[in-house]
Structure 1
Amino acid sequence: MALKKKLGEAKGQWADLVPEVLWSYNTTIHSATGETPFKIVYGTEAMIPVEITTPTIRAEHHTQTSNNQARATELDTIEEVRNNASLKQKALQQLTQRQYNKNVIPRAFQAGDLVLRKTEEARRTQGHGKLAAAWDGLYRVDKVLGMGAYTLQTLRGSTIPGTWNVSSLKLYIS
């Protein structure tokens, strides 16, 4: 996505821009972890090229001994940084899952329930376009196979070949 934004109209130059996009991706804080991928891997923040060429406090006060001490401290705390990032990512996944599942309405059918079956594209009437019926038939649930799978039969008792997922069925209420 970032490569697409960066390119704009110049589609043929994508190979030249890959390093820039990767640098940008690896040095940007991600909301899922609260850290940059560079810090999670190496335990320290990357020094961007502008900081090297333009004098900054970080670059001006750099000495080998202070750098070694800071690096040792960063290496001591890297596991904690990784664990915190992992916890943040799991918390975000749980939040996303909770928000998604809030809108999901679980359905289950019993043997003998009357259901309608979603009309697949191949079985739709050709001339009706988007106005064709989305649901067909009136079927009886023959067997509950588990994990949302069912076998169906017509109202006359003949079994329909194949199994049907709960997402393709709707309870018929008369």
Structure 2
Amino acid sequence: MEAMIPADIGIPSARTLFVIYNDEDLRLDLHLLEERRELALIRENSYKCQLQKYYDSKVKICKFHVGDFVFRNNEALGQEHSRKLAPTWEEPYRVKEVLGKGAYKFEKLYGIEIPRTLNTSQLKKCYI
């Protein structure tokens, strides 16, 4: 909108009529603003559901049971970066407890419990 001096407002002209109609259109747009936001939110949720469905169709489900043997990724601990030729996977562990949603508690083969839990993404099945 353009700024107008008070003298221009009192005189009917095309410019002042445009401003009056423009004000009415702006008020109408303000009333419709909430509806537009709701429609945008519905579209956004629909898009997120489509993305999740596509992603879930590509994911391989890997579940371990109590007593299964697994290797742990060395980078899972987040310690120092390993050397170039260092092994990627660490010794086999036995699954001690399934905590749900891909989290597991472990113990070493000779019975010492590992204090931390790890996720499925940091594990690989070991066939002993």
- The Cα offsets for residues 61-98 of structure 1, whole Å up to 9 and x where unpaired, read as x7123213322322232222111111112122222222
Is residue 153 of structure 1 aligned with residue 125 of structure 2?
A: no
Distance in 2 (CA, whole Å) between partners of 1:113 and 1:124 is: 28
- Structure 1 partner of 2:4: none
- Structure 1 partner of 2:48: 93
Distance 1:122 1:63, change over 3 A: closer
- Structure 1 partner of 2:35: 80
RMSD of Structure 2 on Structure 1 (CA): 2.7
Distance 1:69 1:122, change over 3 A: closer
Distance 1:124 1:69, change over 3 A: closer
One-letter amino acid of the structure 2 residue matched with residue 119 of structure 1: N
Distance in 2 (CA, whole Å) between partners of 1:162 and 1:100 is: 28
Matched residue SS, 1:107? coil
Matched residue SS, 1:69? helix
- Structure 2 partner of 1:140: 94
Distance in 2 (CA, whole Å) between partners of 1:123 and 1:85 is: 45
Is residue 104 of structure 1 aligned with residue 59 of structure 2?
A: yes
Is residue 173 of structure 1 aligned with residue 121 of structure 2?
A: no
Which segments of 5 or more consecutive residues in structure 1 lack a partner in the other structure?
1-46, 48-59
How big is the shift at 1:141?
0.5
Question: TM-score, normalization: structure 1?
Answer: 0.54
Distance 1:125 1:63, change over 3 A: closer
Q: Which runs of 4+ in 1 moved over 3 A?
A: 121-126
Trace 1:41-56 onto structure 2 (pairs within 5 A).
none
**More strand per residue:** 2
Larger radius of gyration: 2
Question: TM-score, normalization: structure 2?
Answer: 0.70
Distance in 2 (CA, whole Å) between partners of 1:158 and 1:70 is: 74
One-letter amino acid of the structure 1 residue matched with residue 96 of structure 2: D
Matched residue SS, 1:163? strand
Aligned pairs, how many? 113
Distance in 1 (CA, whole Å) between partners of 2:40 and 2:97 is: 46
How big is the shift at 1:115?
0.7
